Structure 1
Amino acid sequence: MVVYKITNLINGKVYIGATVQTLLHRKAGHVYDSKRHNGNINQAIRKYGKDNFKWEMLCVCYSVNVLNEMEKHYISLYDSMNIGYNMTTGGKHFSGSAEYRRNITGENNGMYGKKHSKETRKQYSKVRTGTKRSKETRKRMSIAQIKRRKQEKAK
């Protein structure tokens, strides 16, 4: 779990974030989101390009509570709500407890034992038809499939 800072190299504005993922994964998430969502940081990445941002890890945390507090601290320290890209004071990360996860899986899940109708499946198919995956995506999918097959053989 890390608190990180994204700095716009053109105008100096910053964004403070926190993640339970690696910084590399979160960076990829921001770049992906910038193509689809309209948060301040997403619009900035879209406008200036991902290469015009510097990514830094500010601190490593070992609990969600500390992660939340440190994110709030750094947002305040850098005043990134007023002169940066943050839209909230931060500290809103939720880590589902084991009990919570149990309550939303299996029979407690609204889709448990159900299947999508033929009409719904056709709609999904229609949306995906003609969509081309990049070579990079196809390569990642291939690697993932190879790993799955190796795991199945090992059982």
Structure 2
Amino acid sequence: MTRRDLELEEKEFSVEYIIENGLDKSAYGFVYITTNLVNGKKYIGQRMFNKGWERYLGSGILLKYSIKKYGKNNFSKKITAITYSKNELDDLEIKFIKDYCAVENNNYYNISHGGINFFSNIGKHFSEEHKLKLSIANKRGNGINHFNYGKKASAETKAKMSVKKRNISEQTRRKLSEAGKKKIFSYETRKKMSESHRGSKNYNYGKRCSDETKQKLREINIGKKH
């Protein structure tokens, strides 16, 4: 262990200490290190002092997969730094991840460099170890391997998802509409498009419309004539 590792590890704040001293009310957030007690692998992350912070273990894809595999009881969390602003929290998380080489090190679950990390990997050259981590994360974050696979969303969650999709859909429709208005197709292009929808090539070929659908089409056509 390097001297820098020792300097980073010399501070540790227990949940009891934080609550007794009101730090969860006065401070912004904290940097933590979660450890898998079975294989020793770790995860460095950040968290605000909001609901559930005491039990929070981390949100990394590889970490969540391991928590699902080994169980929460086989993980421990150590709070190593307390901050009083978002910028300070981001900076310290980045520093810890960098100093421990957590992204490149296979003994860590981290796959991004921390901070405001949505685009933190853009333009970076990855080591073979990091590429392997990203590959595993992508495989485990999809389908049956996803940590939420098989879980049923609550009515409230479904409603939020529905609203979110509607908002995206409306915005997308406007963009497509504007883009469509600006396009002028040549005669050859229009002819090809027309032929691609004729006869057996049409996606509705062979399908029968219900009486309700027929009535709706009639009403639409009547409206066009007037």
- TM-score, with length taken from structure 2: 0.36
Amino acid corresponding to residue 98 of structure 2 in structure 1:
S
Q: CA RMSD in A?
A: 3.0
Unaligned runs of 5+ in 1: 95-123, 128-155
3-state SS of paired residue (1:25): coil
Match of 1:43 among 54, 57, 65: 65
User: Displacement of 1:93 after TM fit?
Assistant: 7.1
- Per the alignment, residue 63 of structure 1 pairs with 85
- Per the alignment, residue 44 of structure 2 pairs with 16
Cα–Cα, structure 1 residues 43 and 56, in superposed 2: closer, same or farther, change >3 Å?
A: same
User: Displacement of 1:54 after TM fit?
Assistant: 1.1
Amino acid corresponding to residue 54 of structure 1 in structure 2:
S
User: Are positions 1:25 and 2:25 aligned together?
Assistant: no
- Per the alignment, residue 52 of structure 1 pairs with 74
User: Are positions 1:86 and 2:113 aligned together?
Assistant: no
- Per the alignment, residue 6 of structure 1 pairs with 34
C-alpha contact (below 8 Å) 2:34/2:57 kept by paired residues: no
Unaligned runs of 5+ in 2: 1-28, 119-154, 159-226
- Per the alignment, residue 116 of structure 1 pairs with none
Higher-Rg structure is 2
User: Displacement of 1:27 after TM fit?
Assistant: 5.7
C-alpha contact (below 8 Å) 1:13/1:80 kept by paired residues: no
Deviations 1:14-67 (A, max 9, x none): 111111125x81464558x7xxxx811100101111111111101000111110
C-alpha contact (below 8 Å) 1:64/1:93 kept by paired residues: no
- TM-score, with length taken from structure 1: 0.51
3-state SS of paired residue (1:16): strand
Cα–Cα, structure 1 residues 57 and 9, in superposed 2: closer, same or farther, change >3 Å?
A: same
Deviations 1:43-101 (A, max 9, x none): 0101111111111101000111110010011112222223211120000179xxxxxxx
3-state SS of paired residue (1:87): coil
Amino acid corresponding to residue 92 of structure 1 in structure 2:
I
Identity over the aligned pairs, expressed in percent?
A: 34
- For residues 116 and 102 of structure 2, the distance between their equivalents in structure 1, rounded to whole angstroms, comes to 16
- Per the alignment, residue 223 of structure 2 pairs with none
